[in-house]
Chain A
């Protein structure tokens, strides 16, 4: 468990450093960087590399936005395993990411109770 915390810190931190390099060296906007990271997450999962990373680093791999691409691919592939090609399509409709739902709900609640501080 303690090594888990250590590796979560290291792996999560390194993914953030990658993002920072995209900001500072490649001069991408945050929007471009986040989109890129999500696509990277999806592709890594396509090669079966993201799950081992989650096994190894826990939240270090699930908390960065890359895991969003991973979980979407995962959902689609799961359906595909059962229903073949059609499953990819239906899988896309069924899967959601907890991140999006949570952001929608808390975003709306936030708008109800908070005012921007400037």
Chain B
């Protein structure tokens, strides 16, 4: 895609962009990845601890403990989002706090809180999924396609 874009540009634009690149502050990729790894890993470890908490003290098995764990993580995400902490974690950790479900929760909750000023129906209701909606769309649709293909292949005896 980048090449296609470049072809459309005039020589003048290309020349400018080369000049601009020199001054552009590079993203510290390695540093960002280390931070993402540590924070993302930590969030998953907390998730693991919560899973074991539910297995230990309540009647959940390893598999059924998944649901309450996710719900608890999103509850924590709500508190952190509401108290204005999650956006600072996000700036530090990048994908480390965006990829875990807490990040999914954060995208829903932050939009809901933000648009409260436009009312509960049009504001909160209408904007809650403006960030997370694509995740749901592609999740559900990809799942549909994968399940369909797999079922068809199984029926045809390929698998």
B136 interface contact, C-beta 8 A:
yes
Contact B135 A59 (CB under 8 A): no
Contact residue range for chain A? Answer: 35 or more
Closest to B148 in A: A88
In the complex, A16 Cα to B27 Cα: how many Å? 17
Contacts of A117 in B (CB 8 A): 83-84
Name the contact of B44 in the complex, choosing from A9, A42, A76, A102 (C-beta under 8 A).
Answer: A9
Contacts of B84 in A (CB 8 A): 116-118
Closest to B101 in A: A99
User: In whole Å, how far is A93's beta carbon from the nearest beta carbon of chain B?
Assistant: 10
Name the contact of B135 in the complex, choosing from A23, A34, A111 (C-beta under 8 A).
Answer: A34
Contacts of A65 in B (CB 8 A): 99-101, 103-104, 135
Name the contact of A34 in the complex, choosing from B98, B115, B140 (C-beta under 8 A).
Answer: B98
* Per-position 1/0 for A65-96, Cβ under 8 A of B: 11111011101110010001101100110000
Q: Please give the residue numbers on chain A whose beta carbons come within 8 Å of chain B beta carbons, in ascending order.
A: 1, 4-5, 8-25, 30-39, 41-43, 45-46, 57-60, 62-69, 71-73, 75-77, 80, 84-85, 87-88, 91-92, 97-104, 106-111, 113-118
In the complex, A23 Cα to B134 Cα: how many Å? 17
In the complex, A10 Cα to B41 Cα: how many Å? 6
Knowing that A5-B45, A118-B84 are A-B contacts, what are 11 other residue pairs whose CB atoms are under 8 Å apart, sorted by A's residue number?
Answer: A5-B49, A19-B36, A20-B94, A34-B98, A37-B99, A38-B142, A64-B44, A102-B71, A104-B108, A111-B113, A116-B114
